[in-house]
Structure 1
Amino acid sequence: MPTIHSSDRRGKIPAYIQVAAALRRRIETGDWQPSEKIATLEELEEEFQVARVTVRQAVDLLEREGLVTRQQGRGTFVNATVNDKRWLTLETSWDSVLASIKDNVPKFIKVDAPPAAPRLREGDGVLADKYVFLRSVQLKDNVPYAVANLHIAKSVFDRRREKFLKHTALPILAGMNLKIRHAHQTLVIGTADPEIAELLQVSLSAPTAEVRWVVRDDTDTAIYVADITYRADCVKMSIDFFENAAPAAIARKAA
């Protein structure tokens, strides 16, 4: 089973959060099965080389999440049924994406030397003359779940400056009188580097879901480029391949 050694810990991330992340991972991967008793506080204290109070806080956190239950005199057990804590679905259509993020309130981070322009890849269009860079942390119940790095074409940003500095950018962009011709997102699985680990309060090298958004106008200019890093423990993607398909059409595909 994976452990956390002192050399792996981030100083600004509470130790109990990192221990809880390691224990949570064991439950999610099946190392500890439903209804199985987990290691004792003494065993975890020795394994992670942390104080007893730190281990207790980690187990408390898992209990609040509904992953484990402590039984007096018997120990701590994995719950037989575990709620799906991956509450954030990465949507796969334009309208559903806008609906899912329209009420988000980003916490903006000051960047002393922001990159002047995004790095475009093949198929991402052409660069605008100038960009504005915004960095923010997204939170739910005061817990960070995503870090967003965003470039908006300055000509677009200047038209809704006050709104872009207070709200999530994509719904604002969609509400403007712009000729948007292309919008796509890509997803890759990554790991948390030291900065992301600190901002998302996860352990170093914890799994992440990295989403890249590019929106282009009718001149093929990339007016919105966002790189968003999510905590992998709150994200899921669900795609219905037969959504809105007629029953007969589905039957023909299955034949």
Structure 2
Amino acid sequence: MSAPMSILSTDNPLPLYAQLSEVLRQRILRGIFKPGDRLPSAEELAKEFSLARVTVRQAIELLQRDGLVVARQGRGTFVQRNPAAETRLKVQTTLRDLVTMLKGDEIQLLNISEGQAAPNLTETDGKPAAHYVHMMRVHLREGTPYCVISIHLDEAIFRRAPERFRSELMIPLLAAMPEIEIARAHQTLTIGSADPEAAALLKLRVNAPVANVRRVFAAPDGTVIYLGEVIYRGDLVQLEMDLVS
């Protein structure tokens, strides 16, 4: 009888226990294992993935550390929570929907830094403003950090209401200022993994999945007035698109 085929690989830069932890995490997120379900035993998982039991235990410890599972003496390991079943963040695909979503959310802002810095713009983004204010902030919902944002805002616009830009959600504020016209708004989304800095700010493990969103707003003359580079927790992001319109 042939040995079971493992979907894990020693060529992967992640250690085997981290790969297994991610496989089990995805099964929890997809609802294959639901809250209250008992996970397969270490022996069963070791056989399924052709791993040593010590490697399986290391993978389970990662899930325990993230609060997804709980070990019960003499009974096994049980799923405790599924982040996908909790409040998720919809990545909006229009500026109007984005403003509406942000206005309706109760979000805490944690400003990490502020200074002057030039954004990294491409030719297709538009032309740069004379100066930019650069802000780093973390957004929290119900005390949980869900994204970290690097913002470059045209300094001339920032100086019109500096305290409001420091204390309020920036996109709804920009959209509400009658003297500011956003002629073009574009965003791209890519999937990546958390580096040590993002992991620490978002309370994730290093290399946890994240969604990277880059938003560019330009004025009628093509000047980039806002660049937002957002890193979202991957376990909270949901992208919905209506394919029939």
Of the two structures, which has the highest relative contact order with CA contacts closer than 8 Å and spacing of 6 or more? 1
Structural mapping, 1:64-213, within 5 Å: 73-78=74-79, 84-85=85-86, 87-102=88-103, 103-110=106-113, 114=115, 116-177=117-178, 178-213=180-215
Once residues 136 and 60 of structure 1 are traced to their aligned partners in structure 2, the CA distance between those partners, rounded to angstroms, is 23
Cα shift readout 1:208-246 (whole Å, capped 9, x = no counterpart): 10000000011110000010001111101010122xx4x
8 A Cα contact 1:105 1:168, kept in partner: no
Between the aligned partners of 1:196 and 1:170, the Cα distance in structure 2 is: 22
* 1:86–1:235 CA contact under 8 A, matched in 2: no
- Check if 1:58 corresponds to 2:64: yes
User: Shift in Å at residue 140 of structure 1?
Assistant: 1.7
For residues 56 and 168 of structure 2, the distance between their equivalents in structure 1, rounded to whole angstroms, comes to 40
Whether the 8 Å CA contact 1:192–1:208 is kept in 2: the answer is: yes
- Note if contact 1:27-1:33 (Cα within 8 Å) is conserved in structure 2: no
**SS of the residue aligned with 1:135?**
strand
CA distance in 2: counterparts of 1:71 and 1:49, whole angstroms:
14
Q: Deviations for 1:144-176, whole angstroms, at most 9, x for unmatched residues?
A: 111100000011001111111101111110011
* Residue aligning to 1:225: 227
**Deviation (angstroms), 1:86:** 6.2
Cα distance in 2, alignment partners of residues 228 and 88 from structure 1: 13
* 3-state DSSP of counterpart to 1:121: coil
Structural RMSD (CA): 3.7
Residue 24 (structure 2) aligns with: 26
CA 1:235/1:25 → structure 2, altered by over 3 Å: closer, same or farther?
farther
User: Matched residues in 1 for 2:62 and 2:203: separation?
Assistant: 18
Q: Note if contact 1:107-1:136 (Cα within 8 Å) is conserved in structure 2.
A: yes
Paired residues, what number? 219
Q: Which stretches in structure 1 are left out of the alignment for 5+ residues?
A: 3-7, 10-18, 246-255
Any gaps of 5 or more consecutive residues in structure 2?
1-6, 9-13, 47-51
Length-normalised TM-score, structure 2: 0.74
Residue identity (%): 31
SS at match of 2:201: helix
Instruction: Calculate the TM-score normalised by the size of structure 1.
Output: 0.71
